[in-house]
Amino acid sequence: MNMKAIEVELYIPIGQNAALSAGKEIARLFQEGSFDSVKKSDNSPFSKADKAAHDIIYTILKPSGLPILSEEGSQIPYEERRSWHRYWLIDPVDGTKEFISGCPDFTVNIALIEESYPVLGVVYLPVNDILYWGSSQAGAWKKSGLNAPEQLHGSDSGKKLSIVVSKHHGAGKTMDFLRQFPQATVSTRGSSLKFMLLAEGSAQLYPRLAPTMEWDTAASQAILEAAGGQVLTYVEGKRLQYNKESLVNDWFVAHASSLYL
């Protein structure tokens, strides 16, 4: 393992601590039924949990000395971001729509970006107490409650093709995509859980032919890639890239392994 890879691995406990600490507060608010929300300027919902999680994560990550870009933080100009070689990219509550509707399909997403690509990811499901993490050197892992961690290796070719799609963005082009696979089973999930189903081998494809933001996908991409999968742009088939001038992602298809390309 080279020194650069070792250095990246040192950030895993920091990301885990931030995700678990924020998740504990999110779970408390969820159990209390604190689902009140307001609309942000882009018409997306913003809840008390989003703000609380952002503050907790920011406090824990700040001592690392790396820049932090959060969905709920200030939108930092590209003129400043373009000089970043390594930084944290976070979504304090991915799946706020699920949270405010009382559905547990929401996650805390924390990624470490290096030279425009995610090199480390942590995803936490607060209500279910399931922690995922991964990097190219450490591999991809899942820990449920007090159980021992299990390593994730994506899917194998012996399984019937299963495709997972978004609960809220499954129409239009996505339906056209699904028609290519008439024998596949199709399920819907919220937030970054769709990527995690691929990483653990429960599904093989996740098409997202609708807008997402960079913080929606970075942590999950790092984990899926560590499990042997890929996240490729829909049109050009290139690895999904980060810290662009526009933080809106290209449409993409996530694959559990190269067997499904």
Q: Which domain holds residue 231?
A: 162-260
Q: What is the CATH number of the domain that holds 148?
A: 3.30.540.10
Residue 156: the pLDDT is 61
Domain count along the chain? 2
Q: Are 71 and 102 in the same domain?
A: yes
Q: Are 123 and 20 in the same domain?
A: yes
- Quote the distance between the C-alpha of residue 61 and its chain's center: 17
User: 42 by DSSP, 3-state: which?
Assistant: coil
Q: Are 20 and 127 in the same domain?
A: yes
Q: Are 102 and 12 in the same domain?
A: yes
Residue 230 within any structural domain of the chain: yes
Residue 42 within any structural domain of the chain: yes
Q: Are 15 and 138 in the same domain?
A: yes
Residue 85 within any structural domain of the chain: yes
Residue 157 within any structural domain of the chain: no
Domain boundary at 152, 172, 202, which?
Answer: 152
Q: Are 105 and 173 in the same domain?
A: no
> H or E element: which one contains 169?
none
Residue 91 within any structural domain of the chain: yes
Q: Are 130 and 195 in the same domain?
A: no
Q: Are 127 and 82 in the same domain?
A: yes
User: 47 by DSSP, 3-state: which?
Assistant: strand
Q: What is the CATH number of the domain that holds 199?
A: 3.40.190.80
Q: Are 205 and 144 in the same domain?
A: no
Domain boundary at 133, 152, 171, which?
Answer: 152
Domain boundary at 122, 152, 182, which?
Answer: 152
Q: Are 97 and 39 in the same domain?
A: yes
Q: Are 144 and 175 in the same domain?
A: no
CA dist., res. 204 & res. 13, Å (int): 29
Q: Are 254 and 135 in the same domain?
A: no
DSSP codes of every residue in 80-114: HHTT-SEEEEEEEEETHHHHHTT-S--EEEEEEEE
Tens-binned pLDDT, residue by residue, of the chain (261 aa) = 565 666 889 999 999 999 999 999 999 999 998 877 676 656 577 788 899 999 999 999 999 999 999 988 768 999 999 999 999 999 999 988 888 888 999 999 999 999 999 999 999 999 999 999 999 899 999 999 999 999 999 876 567 899 999 877 556 889 999 999 999 999 999 889 999 999 999 999 999 999 999 999 999 999 999 999 999 999 999 999 999 999 999 999 999 986 655
Question: What tokens were used for 53?
Answer: 């999680």
Residue 47: the pLDDT is 82
